[in-house]
Structure 1
Amino acid sequence: MEHLLEQPQLAGDVPAQQQYAKNLVELVKQLITEKEYDGVALLFTNEAEAPRNRSCLETVGMELYHEFCEPNLTAEVHEAQLPLYNCAEELLYLIASYAPMEELLLELLEMIEDQKSEFVYSSSLRALQAVLLRMGDKKPRALEWSLNSIHTRIESLPLPNFLEEGYDEKQEALLEQNNQIEKLLMHYITLNLFYEPLLKDILSSQSTSGPAFFDKSINRRNVLCCFLIQMLGKPLALLDLSADGRKTNTYTIQCARKLTESAVNCLDNPLRLLFVGEQRIRWTRRLDTNKGVHEMSSKNIFLIEDKLPLESLSIFFYMIFVEGICLNSVPKVYAPLYIFEMSLYYTNELLAHDEAALHYRALQLTKCLLDKLNHEKIAAISLELDVHKNFCNSLCNIVGYSSHNKLRQIGVKLLRQYILQFDDEGKYLVLKNLLRTVPHHGISGYLAIIYKDVVANALVSTSTNLPTSFSGQDFRTIFLRHICHLPHGAKTDLIEHADKVISSLNALRFFAIKDLQNRTGFWDIVPEIEQQFTDPLRKGLDISVAHYKAELLRVENGLDAETEAEDRKNLEILDLNIANASKESGQMDLEITRQRKTEILRQNLCTFDLMRSLLGRTVECFENSNRMSKSCAA
């Protein structure tokens, strides 16, 4: 080996150092051919020869990379010839430490994106780390390109379908047992090892020569900070990020915690970026490339969606406020109401996605920040911000239409808590506008009950005049237009509107009993309520009960199946979904169909009985009050 390296130069016009470097390449080739991998390592670790050999990597490093590293850093070599793979990996790290940085950087980025093996991914990240550390603060774009390649790779990893569809608690406990999720978490763990030295180097250089104010330009610190937050988004955000009640932390929580803590180290104050959601959504800038107006014109990296997606930033604040990661780093000068309203932009962002896991994070974040408000009220003037309107609409969609029972349950409680957090005028405005716009009749009924409870509380707590939002014209408007309202009079489908009708009757009966002094102005509108609600409801109930009893008799007697077309039409009317209805279905299927139809009809008749009972009690309260009034007048 020494003889080959110390060959005399072949021609006087070839410098000795170049000849030595060529001999080094030939020797490495010979040693690898002979499988003398320890000899390759000795070339760069031997005290006598290592310094000169390492210096040669400046000129022949890329040649060695293409000759030995690139062809041998593959999944096939790792599986069949592990010693050769390890030798190529160590040689790559040496090349990364001494070879030209720019050329090797491009090769490594290509390897990260193209090679699917997690072992090659780990090896290339180690070499990339060495290159980026050598570059220092001079080339933040190189760091940006590198992190983009890593994100592209992780984003392309296959994931199980149930992550998008949602999962229950039993599935949640077994998430990390899935092979695809296990591979994803391995990538994140390797990523943590990759960026830790970079973060340490960035923070050390920042402490010695950092600006007095927070710099938002494209520099190494901000590029890495955006990347760390970006990695908190999908796919990691679709896993279980909650640590409450766990005896040990899962790999998912460890990765999410580490990313959050590292991002906070870049920011010092975690809420430096709280304004970003409002800035992007409320104060959107018109983009016109012809006039030179584009995302980069702000010179603020945190306002660029590609660098810092709102979805990822939302998870970042979820980790801080809900999971309590680095919560002690939040300065105490921020008002809880300001934090809540700024966070609504992030809640809306998560609710705008399709994944149930993101919906759950959104609801948890909002509940946590509402709890922090305690008894502080949200002023009605805040409703001028579109963010509240968007939040109400998104939350009502979750409550009414989510396929996950857990989300609907949390959403119902959160909707009530949110409404009650407003001042009196705010409560009225939110309820009136939701009753006017929400198409889901079950939610409308729930909102009617909330309004009834709010006014009932005011009746008890206020001995003088009630707030205008709970009496007089406002009370009249919300009752006549939105609560006691049948859209088609006596012809309204009472089964479809059952929840709202029952809630309305309960509210009417309550005020007929509790507001005998007419503090709300309830008795002033009773004649109109009778005209547009109770009287048409009585007629509608009579018609509906007669129709359903007749249909029940037909079904029990088998008259509903005289023809297949008529039978199917009746099924559509009852909104049934018969899974085994086909031409091959025989008498057994018809009996099952008939039994199911009978159950539906009887359930609907029970609903009508409940409505009749509530209506009778309500009308009785009206009549008793009228008799009392006439008696007092006499």
Structure 2
Amino acid sequence: MANEDQVKDIIHRWQRTPEDDLKPEDYQQFRDVGSACLTQGDAARLLSFLQEEENQGIVRSMGCVLVSPLLNEVVRKEKSLAHCQAAITHLSRTCRPNELLRSFLQLIEDIDPGAISETILALVPHLQTVLLQLGDRKASCLGSALSRLQEQLSRLPVPYSRQQEEADEHGLCRCCAALAELTRPFVEEVKGRNGNHAPTAEDEELKAELLMFCMRSLREPLLEAELNRDTTSPLWLFATQIMVTLPAIREPPAELLLFSPLKKGTEKESRERSESRACLAYLLFVQLVGIDSFPAVFSPLFILQCNMDYINQLLSSKKESHLLKGLALYAKSLERVKDNSLPVSLLELRSFHRVPENLRQVLTDCPMQHLRESGLQVFQLFIDKLDAEAKHKFFRCMLKTSHHAGVEGYIVKNIKNQVECSMKSGAAGKGFLGDQLLSLLGLVFSLPRGAQTDLLNTMDRVMESLNLLRYLLLRDKELRSTTGAWEQLSGVKDQYVKTLRVCIGISRGYYSAELKAVRQDRKLKAKEAREAARSTGLSKRMIVKHEQVSNMSPEVQHQVLQSALVTLDLMESLIFRIEEITEEKRTIPN
């Protein structure tokens, strides 16, 4: 260095100056000298200076200002990587822990968005060294560090598949493993004091900070990740570590899920706490992580009730990972409950009202077919677990509020199945025979807009309602034995069929006219195409014009309209059969 003598003079002055007399410009000058060494590729010389015995006073006083430039060299993976790592290690053992911690926290706050994982992986081992030196203040300092680290990690994309996890392009999986290692000695400290003496305030604070770390981890990134016990992926290992940590710090999952009320806070805070517990419930009840230590005294119904809030949180999301976990948790919670056992009183609970509503949204609005298919299976499972009275009330609610022909058709199909079961078992008076059945049929045999109803959009419901009506007419013995029931059914049937015939006539006229127009349009376009074939340029213009007229090709329009007319034919054939059965029944003496 050209001013090497000047630098030596400055160092000698620092060696003779008491720490309290050092000025801010001394700290800045010390940083400048160290950074200059790194810039000139002289990291070995800087390390040697930091390790010399006569310089330890300087290092202890001002060494923390070199953490940032040294870490930047490590992140850039320069040739001097080993020397820089050794220098940071020496600083973390020599400098005052409080000052080093402030430097580390500032580094975390100022992380380059393009080097988040590299910076965290380089920093965490040294951060652990510093935290372990803090004594009584380590709990709050650990909490501050973990909070800032997890906030930075939340900016990284979560790998969706096992292949993406193994590639770990953005380093999230490696960082999660590093955070687990960072907390390990503190978890062991809490665990080692269990039952040995009354916990101190510091013990409780350390436990609270570790609990917050676990719950934040469950929400981000684990709630977003694909977690499956059959595939040992990096994030799966991180999830199992979190599940082991909770009981180690005296926070067993059973207590967190079943008995710890959610604290009051902002809407965002409440949602985040609920998401964390939802992921915890998924790992426990679906993936069975830690289920061996779960108390066996809790009934399946109690567990279902407790899980409904978490299921609701997951199913109210639009994210695929949340919906998958919500459907799986709902299914596993229901599977443990006996069929036909859930009482009608449960439907009065807020969660038992909201979860089916969110599930209906999945069935009708979710663009992903595999989620809709899984949702339908869970929907049927829920219906199977309701007792007869609860089924009756649930069906009424769905018919009144779903406003979706597919869902309504599915409910009507279930009503038919329940009527059939009641007739086989002779369980009259249970909601699906006699007068109670008629109250349901009044909702089933109705059209939302009377004769103006669009039958193509309500096809699922109408076809299932006609199938139910045909079944009831064929199996009328139970209805005839109930005073007035058969007469009421006949009245409802007559009005429904009459309105439906009018509606079919209107719809047939409309779709026939549309089909005729499409056919004429196809003929016209074919004629124009033949004439246009005489000129290449004209032909090209016709193609452009055709694409601009409609997004649906004439062939597709023709197919849709023909399908609509076939559907109307099917409805008419069912009505005709219903009328035949009615006429046959009139000849049978009462």
Scaled by the length of structure 2, what TM-score is found?
A: 0.83
Q: Which residue of 1 aligns with 2:447?
A: 486
Q: Which amino acid aligns with 2:179?
A: L
Q: Which residue of 1 aligns with 2:360?
A: 396
* Aligned counterparts of 1:188 and 1:372: Cα–Cα separation in 2: 34
* Aligned counterparts of 1:494 and 1:307: Cα–Cα separation in 2: 41
Distance apart, 1:355 and its partner CA:
0.5
Q: Which residue of 2 aligns with 1:355?
A: 319
1:551 to 2:514 alignment: yes
Q: Which amino acid aligns with 2:423?
A: L
Q: Given that residues 518 and 558 in structure 2 are in contact (C-alpha distance below 8 angstroms), is that contact kept between their aligned partners in structure 1?
A: yes
Q: Which residue of 2 aligns with 1:72?
A: 70
Q: Which residue of 2 aligns with 1:230?
A: 216
* Aligned counterparts of 2:461 and 2:217: Cα–Cα separation in 1: 44
Q: Given that residues 216 and 222 in structure 1 are in contact (C-alpha distance below 8 angstroms), is that contact kept between their aligned partners in structure 2?
A: no
Q: CA distance change for structure 1 residues 315 and 511 in 2, over 3 Å: closer, same or farther?
A: same
Point out where structure 1 has 5 or more consecutive residues left out of the alignment.
164-171, 286-293, 296-302, 563-580
* Aligned counterparts of 1:373 and 1:413: Cα–Cα separation in 2: 16
Q: Which residue of 2 aligns with 1:568?
A: none
1:88 to 2:89 alignment: no
Q: CA distance change for structure 1 residues 507 and 62 in 2, over 3 Å: closer, same or farther?
A: farther
Q: CA distance change for structure 1 residues 71 and 217 in 2, over 3 Å: closer, same or farther?
A: closer
After superposition, where does 1:8-23 map in structure 2 within 5 Å?
none
Q: Which residue of 1 aligns with 2:192?
A: 204
Q: 1:467 aligns to what SS in structure 2?
A: coil
Distance apart, 1:333 and its partner CA:
1.8
Pick the aligned partner of 2:171 from 183, 198, 207: 183
Q: Which residue of 1 aligns with 2:155?
A: 156
Q: CA distance change for structure 1 residues 122 and 596 in 2, over 3 Å: closer, same or farther?
A: same
Distance apart, 1:154 and its partner CA:
0.5
**Deviation per CA, 1:520-560, whole angstroms, max 9, x where unpaired?**
77523223323431111112112222332232122212289
Q: CA distance change for structure 1 residues 461 and 147 in 2, over 3 Å: closer, same or farther?
A: same
Q: Which amino acid aligns with 1:471?
A: L
1:258 to 2:256 alignment: no
Q: Which residue of 1 aligns with 2:278?
A: 314
* Aligned counterparts of 2:342 and 2:405: Cα–Cα separation in 1: 27
* Aligned counterparts of 1:376 and 1:468: Cα–Cα separation in 2: 12
**Deviation per CA, 1:279-331, whole angstroms, max 9, x where unpaired?**
44xxx85xxxxxxxx78xxxxxxx99379621122111101111111111111
Q: Which amino acid aligns with 1:104?
A: L
Q: Which amino acid aligns with 1:585?
A: K
After superposition, where does 1:260-275 map in structure 2 within 5 Å?
260-267=243-250, 269-275=252-258
1:324 to 2:288 alignment: yes
Q: CA distance change for structure 1 residues 186 and 561 in 2, over 3 Å: closer, same or farther?
A: farther
Q: 1:232 aligns to what SS in structure 2?
A: helix
**Deviation per CA, 1:25-75, whole angstroms, max 9, x where unpaired?**
99x96997894739947976xxxx87x98xx46x74351121x3221211x
Q: Which amino acid aligns with 1:488?
A: R
Q: 1:466 aligns to what SS in structure 2?
A: coil
Distance apart, 1:618 and its partner CA:
2.2
Q: Which amino acid aligns with 2:191?
A: L
* Aligned counterparts of 2:223 and 2:542: Cα–Cα separation in 1: 43
**Deviation per CA, 1:116-146, whole angstroms, max 9, x where unpaired?**
3333212221122122222355453222211
Q: Which amino acid aligns with 2:556?
A: R
Identity in percent: 23
Distance apart, 1:598 and its partner CA:
0.6
Q: 1:134 aligns to what SS in structure 2?
A: coil
Q: Which amino acid aligns with 1:619?
A: E
Q: CA distance change for structure 1 residues 550 and 267 in 2, over 3 Å: closer, same or farther?
A: same
Q: 1:470 aligns to what SS in structure 2?
A: coil
* Aligned counterparts of 2:552 and 2:37: Cα–Cα separation in 1: 80
Q: Given that residues 422 and 433 in structure 2 are in contact (C-alpha distance below 8 angstroms), is that contact kept between their aligned partners in structure 1?
A: no
Distance apart, 1:514 and its partner CA:
2.3
Q: Given that residues 131 and 142 in structure 2 are in contact (C-alpha distance below 8 angstroms), is that contact kept between their aligned partners in structure 1?
A: yes
* Aligned counterparts of 1:358 and 1:185: Cα–Cα separation in 2: 19
Q: 1:487 aligns to what SS in structure 2?
A: coil
Pick the aligned partner of 2:226 from 240, 248, 255: 240
* Aligned counterparts of 2:278 and 2:236: Cα–Cα separation in 1: 16
Scaled by the length of structure 1, what TM-score is found?
A: 0.77
Q: Given that residues 441 and 499 in structure 1 are in contact (C-alpha distance below 8 angstroms), is that contact kept between their aligned partners in structure 2?
A: yes
Q: Which amino acid aligns with 2:488?
A: I
* Aligned counterparts of 1:590 and 1:13: Cα–Cα separation in 2: 87
